[in-house]
Structure 1
Amino acid sequence: MKRLGVDVGGTFTDLIYVDDESGTVLIHKLASTPDDPSRGTVQGIRELAEQAGVTPGDLDQVFHGTTIATNIVIEHNGARVGMITTQGYRDILHIARHKKPLNFSNYQDLPWQRYPLARRRDRVTVPERITAEGEILVPLDEDAAREQVRKLKEAGVEAVAVCFLFSFLNNAHEARVAEIVREEFPEAFLSVSSEVLPQYREYERFSTVALNAFVGPKVATYVRRLEDELRSMNVRTGVHLMTSASGVSTAQGAVERPVNLLMSGPVAGVVGGIWVGRQAGFDSVITLDVGGTSADIGLAQGGALRMKHLLDTRVGPYQAMIPMVDVDTIGAGGGSIAYVDGGGIFRSGPRSAGAQPGPAAYDRGGTEPTSTDAMVNLGWLLPEDFLGGAMKLKPELSRTAFEPVAEQLGMTVEEASLGAIQIASHSMVQSIEENSVRKGFDPRDFALIAEGGAGPAFAAGIALEVGTPAVIVPPYPGVTAALGLLATDTVYEYVTTTYQRVSQLNAPELEARFAELEDQARKQLEDDGIRADNLVIQRVADCRYLGQGYELRIDVPGGAIDDAWVGKVTADFHDAHEKEYSRRFEESDIEIPNIRVRGIGIMPELKLPELDAGGTTANDALRHEREAWFHVDGELREMRTKFYARDALRAGNKIEGPAVVNQYDSTTIIPPGLTAEVDRYGNIVIWVDQSARERLLGGLSAVASA
């Protein structure tokens, strides 16, 4: 089977090609095209297929991870959304949960109000009402609904969100209004809550459905354009896109529910990192995926993905009540711009030079100092070896960019460059601590997976601070997220609200609701061409103690819902609650507000070829010996450093720091005092011991904060 994964980031578009039969693995990297991301995607597919000696039509699978939906939300440049809702509930999106980011400040922007998903003038109401029991209290006024649709059309909205109270119990009114929208305003993107998210929680449901409408037109245009381009290249399989829940969606599913693509790219990086960790013999991993614009941090204990709690499933300032892998994204990367703020504080990011103009060393018009320029000034990046020699850096431009900052701080250019690196690294350290220590996990029990074009350059320094004993640099770190697309299964998740108490369980009704969701999941997977023997159905229940406001996801058994089923769910929930909150209340009843079904189509296992064995020395891969700057024993020193070619390393090779390993898609930095070893799968494993930690971190904070 010939498979191709493509991950579009803010700076680069990364691709990986795997031929399962021949064992061929090829990677490709090109600058992203922010004006039209599909252009870079299609170009990359053409070029990588040519490199593989196949035509695009020979591809059996194309998987895609993208940040397009996330970027639309963060940049506030989505569609103009009109909302139709129940009379009297026009301002749910404005009021939200009546919480402020700063509790005691009377003067603050509320971001969901400053940048509303649907402006008040575009939020309209119609007479109708469904009760909390799902009964019709006020019949839908169809004439009024038709008039409001016409009003939104005349106003120039591009998308329409339909959200009525208790439609998750009875969708008759929403379904009828959806028909009217399709009759009166067929060109509008339509987002209907009972189709997108048939789940209770008033504000979160409204926000999610409005988000779906906000990103819908641009995402739909992008996905359809990409599908058309692939069809013109005779790609038979179409494209499957990574979702925030770590599964993949068909193009049609992405067009209908684009909100599920939020966090698509970062999630692929976590999946790829878990796969790499297992290969290297580490089940528990922290993934550090650093690109040009941002860094994505994920944690997987025992190789299991963590799902975000409902309170945390936000994108920007907006609530998105969708299943979402726990990934933290911060504005720190190779393109992060270093500067001195108005108060004289040295900072790095979150603003980035991006793909255009890029770091100063790229010679594309960028003049501001970035983390990449800092690495050039420190001698970590060789101008002639960047991107495998495909791009020539200009070190004089990096130095010129940093001179004003160094002068402001009273430092040398090298000191300012190291400071910029350490400030960016500290942001990543803080994020790792928030996702590990503050959630009850000890980083010393995890390996750090270095991903992205810049991850291997930052990872060893970060591991020294957070305490992880090993850093794993995959064979293709710059395209690990793209590799993650090939290492995942096809996954769809369906949810419905059903209020049940364990003590008063209505087993026949619960079984019937699970069966409805399972039928939807099976149908979707069969439509995707998944064979019955590769199809798995999983049940999930959202559980909470009676009286609690929020719930936890619990995997529940299939089959008959009987006393054994109840006992298993009860015990598992008590255990999960204790693990999450350090408390269990076994005398309390348990509520099940929602149930879910995950339909999984098992994909062929991804296997990469093993590396040829070599000796313990890596002399055959040594290409240069040059001076580079490192922080040792409390001071910045210029040290003789060895530079190795990644493609010449062999299994068993050992490298003593200071050293730099160059390859096409990334650069790995091994600080002085650390030792790295190449395993049989080609991973570079950097071991971080306590003595090196004490030597390399001594006095470091003074340089970073000067």
Structure 2
Amino acid sequence: MRVAVDTGGTFTDFVAEVEGQLLTYKVPSTPEDPARAILEGLRVLSSRTGRPPEEVLHGTTVGTNAFLTRRGARVALLTTRGFEDVIFIGRQARPELYNFLVQKPPPVVARSLVLGVRERVRADGTVELPLSEEEIARVRLWVKQKRPEALAISLLHAYAFPEHERRLAKALADLGIHLSLSSEIRPEFREFERTSTTLLNAYLAPVVGRYVRRLGKALPGARIFIMQSSGGLLPVEEVEGRAVMTLLSGPAGGVLGALAVARAQGFKRIITLDMGGTSTDVALCDGAPTYTREYEIEGHPVALPLIDIHTIGAGGGSLAWFDPGGALRVGPQSAGADPGPVCYGRGGRQPTVTDAHLFVGRLLPHRFLGGRMVLRPELAARALAEMAHLKGLSPETLALSILEIAATNMEAALRKVSLERGYDPREFVLVAFGGAGALQAAELAARLGISRVLVPRLSGVLSALGILVAEPRFDFAAGVRPGRDPASYEFLQRKMAALRKKALSAVKSLGFAERDLAVSESVDLRYAGQAFELTIPFGTDFQEAFRREHERLYGFHLGDRTLEATAVRVTVTVRRPPPVWPPFKGGRALQPAEKTLLLLSPEERRPAPVYLWEDLPQEAEFSGPALVVGDYATVFVPPGFLCAADGHGNLHLYPG
């Protein structure tokens, strides 16, 4: 049995593969101890199948939560003398251009825990000031006095000459603290981004390390992999050294799951909409996931390859509230898993998006989570009525307004990953998943002119499914000195060959067979004088490929102007068999299970059919308004839309 686990803010999802069959399960998350929900779910699955898990693939929020709540390790930073303030100065770009009172994000390291080391390397990799044994002894004494849990070492131009960082690490190795070296984490130029990424890795490593070690002890017979933000799996024994790569662990699984389902239906260009209980994640895939190395979390750069996912605080648990000006807002604050929305009956009193969906009839209280959790509509109605009374509104107006604002927030996110990046959303399929994604997907498609919405059969656990179909992935990079090293094929080929040899050796040392490995190579290029690079597949025509991509993105290229290379990259993927999608039998005739009263306007409630997802006949087409109810997701088909199920049980919504 292989089990994929995705820990979300509200629920922990499981998808298990046993002899080609898929099993799903869902339990409420336990934010104070995420492992508790995981072990409970694995216990239930093992009892159902009669076998323990041989492989556990896990998308985790431990690193993200540790950063957001500032509960990472007590970390110290070693840098070149004179550059102690780089991490505090950052870039000159202001997050709010006209706000004179803008607050900078709090740093993860105290100024008193930053030490300047007497050494200096030039940009060309030559040594200006050697690192002496006396200086190493001084640094060691300082570290012993400060007693940090983790140490980040980011020396000037260490990407060109890593020896000083390695000597320091060797001298400090016996102190029992975690060491993160910039020449290993991000061996590329740009001091601020390299230092920030290394520092975040050190900050998160002890927390993530403790978590995965505990999980390993609780599952001694299973091999554990953790999902990376790049969409690849990382063996658990490597995770502590790459803790920063878990920041988008769960959302990355959702993108892979959506792309796998869409490809099986013949769609390669998709926009994903993952609406869970706490947040909504959106991403664009033009045949493959889109990657970025310009990701920031609360103003802190993480300059490593991550799937380009835009996240907003708009989930089923997002709280509705009035701002000081009297305007209705939705999110980013969330009711979370505990107490959760008011209708959960756990003490919540402030209305949420889920409460609004229940009030307007888009959720059925007795069929939520396949009937395993009964909602209380009277509590949602009372909370909405109390809030509406404050502004002289009707509960109906307030509920529809909450959903309208949530949709507007999600529309802005969808525009950000499509229109703002040069893509026409009308040329893509919207893949909606998560527990709440399909409740508003059709309306969002209509706003953006998207002609088809695909709702996967396993919509409510699609991030876990994406983790199940993911493959182990290892990313390696080597810096190139822009302006000093030539951007010629011959030079870069030698650089790439050395990196490829290092990468294959490292991956094979983890027990993977060379016959299962796939290698891809790329190079970062820019025109001389530019400040940002494009990552281009490496081949004999890489320079022409760069010019084509530059023109596609920006509408022009600069002909034969000199090119600069800044890094070469090698990605090693461990190939696994493609997933076997379970067949969908469906029912024989299109027959509603019941009816619901849908609130379509503040003055109108209209009876609408409710279909059970597993009873839908293949290819049977019906029109909205209607609901389709599955175990972990409900689909709202609005007026003016048609809906049909395909041969794998996925739903297709399109204007009709």
User: After the TM superposition, which of the residue ranges 423-432 and 520-529 deviates more from structure 2?
Assistant: 520-529
Equivalent residue number for residue 55 of structure 1: 51
What is the 5 A alignment of 1:319-334? 319-334=301-316
- What letter matches 1:62 in structure 2? V
What's the counterpart of residue 217 of structure 2? 228
Listed as ranges, the matches of 1:81-120 within 5 Å are: 81-111=75-105, 115-120=106-111
Q: Does 1:443 align with 2:425?
A: yes
Aligned equivalents of 1:476 and 1:328: distance in 2? 22
2:214 matches 1:203: no
Does residue 291 of structure 2 align to residue 307 of structure 1? yes
Query: Taking structure 1 as the reference length, what is the TM-score of the superposition?
Result: 0.90
Q: 1:135 to 1:5 in 2, by over 3 A?
A: same
Give the counterpart of 1:285 among 249, 259, 270.
270
Q: Is the Cα–Cα contact under 8 Å of residues 503 and 589 in structure 1 kept in the other structure? A: no
Instruction: Provide the residue aligned with 1:14 in structure 2.
Output: 13
Tell me what 1:42 maps to.
39
Letter in 1 for 2:91: R
Partners of 2:488 and 2:596 in 1: CA distance: 73
CA distance in 1, matches of 2:35, 2:140: 32
Is 1:259 matched with 2:247?
no
Summarize deviations over 1:519-569 as a string: whole Å, max 9, x none.
Answer: 232233323443333211111100101111110000113xxxxxxx1xx11
Could you tell me which residue of structure 1 aligns to residue 557 of structure 2?
584
The answer to whether residue 623 in structure 2 is matched with residue 623 in structure 1 is no
The answer to whether structure 1 residue 544 and structure 2 residue 526 are counterparts is yes
**For the structure 1 residues 405 and 133, does the alpha-carbon distance in structure 2 shift closer, same or farther, using more than 3 Å as the test?**
same
CA contact (8 A) 1:614 1:652 kept: no
Correspondences of 1:67-216 after superposition (within 5 Å) = 67-111=61-105, 115-183=106-174, 185-186=175-176, 188-216=177-205
State the distance in 2 between where 1:71 and 1:515 align. 39
Q: Distance in 2 between matches of 1:125 and 1:611?
A: 63
After superposing the two structures, state which structure 1 stretch, 655-664 or 679-688, moved more.
Answer: 655-664
Distance in 2, matches of 1:501 and 1:101, equals 31
Write the distance in 1 (CA, Å) between the matches of 2:418 and 2:9.
26
3-state SS, counterpart of residue 540 of structure 1 = strand
1:249 pairs with 2:234: yes
1:639 maps onto 2:623 in alignment: no
CA contact (8 A) 2:124 2:484 kept: no
What is the CA–CA distance in structure 2 between the aligned matches of 1:221 and 1:677, rounded to whole Å?
A: 47
Distance 1:396 1:132 in 2: 67
Deviation at 1:166, TM superposition (A): 1.2
In 1, the alpha carbon distance for the partners of 2:186 and 2:424 equals: 36
1:64 equivalent in structure 2? 58
8 A Cα contact 1:7 1:14, kept in partner: yes
- Quote the Cα distance in structure 2 between the aligned partners of 1:461 and 1:467: 10
Query: Structure 1's 353 and 585: CA in aligned 2 closer, same or farther, altered over 3 A?
Result: same
Question: What whole-Å deviation, never above 9, does each CA across 1:265-285 have from its counterpart, x for those lacking one?
Answer: 111111111111112232211
Asked if the contact 1:463–1:688 (Cα under 8 Å) also holds between the matched residues in 2, the reply is no
SS at match of 1:56: coil
CA contact (8 A) 1:280 1:683 kept: no
Tell me how far apart the structure 1 counterparts of residues 647 and 564 of structure 2 sit (CA, whole Å). 49
Q: Hey, what does 1:693 align to over in structure 2?
A: none
Aligned partner of residue 3 in structure 2, secondary structure: strand
- Determine the C-alpha separation between the residues in 2 that align with 1:145 and 1:639: 76
Q: How many Å separate the matches in 2 of 1:28 and 1:527? A: 35
Q: How far is the alpha carbon of 1:382 from its aligned partner?
A: 1.4
Deviation digits for residues 444-491 of structure 1 (CA, Å, limit 9, x no counterpart): 111111111111112112112122111111111011111111222221
CA displacement 1:230-269 (0-9 Å, x = unmatched): 11xx22xx11111121111111221111111121111111
Counterparts in 2 of 1:438-587, with a 5 A limit?
438-499=420-481, 504-505=486-487, 509-557=491-539, 565=540, 568-587=541-560
Match of 1:362 in 2: 344
Provide the C-alpha distance between the structure 2 equivalents of 1:504 and 1:158, rounded to a whole number of angstroms. 41
Equivalent residue number for residue 581 of structure 2: 608
- How far apart, CA to CA, are the structure 2 residues paired with 1:547 and 1:442? 30
Corresponding residue for residue 625 of structure 2? 658
Q: Determine helix, strand or coil for the equivalent of 1:260.
A: helix
1:505, CA displacement in angstroms? 4.8
Residue in 2 aligned with 1:295?
280
Q: Shift in Å at residue 56 of structure 1?
A: 1.7
- Relative distance call for 1:415 and 1:103 in structure 2 (3 A) is closer
CA distance in 2, matches of 1:421, 1:528: 49
Question: Contact between 2:58 and 2:224, CA under 8 Å: does it hold in 1?
Answer: yes
Task: Go from structure 1 to structure 2 and tell me whether the alpha carbon gap of 1:657 and 1:104 turns closer, same or farther (over 3 Å shift).
Answer: closer
DSSP-derived class of the 1:143 partner: helix
Deviation for aligned residue 1:661? 1.5
3-state SS in 1 of match to 2:306: coil
Contact 2:276 2:434 (8 Å CA) reproduced: yes
Q: Which runs of 5+ in 2 are unaligned?
A: none
Q: Separation in 1 of the partners of 2:97 and 2:469?
A: 43
- Cα distance between partner residues in 1 of 2:387 and 2:465: 38
Report how far residue 180 of structure 1 moved: 2.2
Secondary structure, counterpart of 1:351 in structure 2: strand
Pair 1:386 & 2:386 matched: no
Q: Provide the C-alpha distance between the structure 2 equivalents of 1:221 and 1:36, rounded to a whole number of angstroms.
A: 12
Q: What is the DSSP-based 3-state SS (H/G/I as helix, E as strand, rest coil) of the residue aligned with 2:24?
A: strand
- C-alpha offsets along residues 637-671 of structure 1, whole Å, 9 cap, x if unaligned? 20101112222223122232111112221111111
Q: CA–CA distance in 1 between the matches of 2:158 and 2:98? A: 36
Q: Give the structure 2 partner of residue 678 of structure 1.
A: 645
Equivalent residue pairs, number: 656
CA distance in 2, matches of 1:524, 1:469: 46
Shift of 1:99: 2.5
Gaps of 5+ in 1: 558-564, 690-706
Structure-2 separation of matches of 1:490 and 1:192? 23
Aligned-pair identity (%): 35
TM-score, normalised relative to structure 2: 0.96
Residues of 2 paired with 1:539 and 1:273: CA distance? 25
In the TM superposition, residue 104 of structure 1 has moved relative to its aligned partner by 4.3
Read off the aligned partner of 1:169 and give its amino acid letter. A
Q: Distance in 2 between matches of 1:54 and 1:542?
A: 50
How far apart are the structure 2 equivalents of 1:508 and 1:285? Answer: 37
Report runs of 4+ in structure 1 exceeding 4 Å deviation: 500-509
* Paired amino acid for 2:252: V
Q: Assess if the C-alpha contact under 8 Å between 1:537 and 1:597 holds in 2.
A: yes
Deviation per CA, 1:20-39: give whole Å up to 9, x if none.
Answer: x4x31111111111111122
State how far apart, in whole Å, the 1-side matches of 2:100 and 2:371 are. 55
Seen in structure 2, the aligned counterparts of structure 1 residues 149 and 424 have a Cα distance that, compared at 3 Å, is farther
CA distance in 2, matches of 1:156, 1:401: 50
* Alpha-carbon distance between aligned partners in 1 of 2:506 and 2:173, rounded to the nearest angstrom: 24
2:579 partner letter? L
Q: Which amino acid aligns with 1:577?
A: H
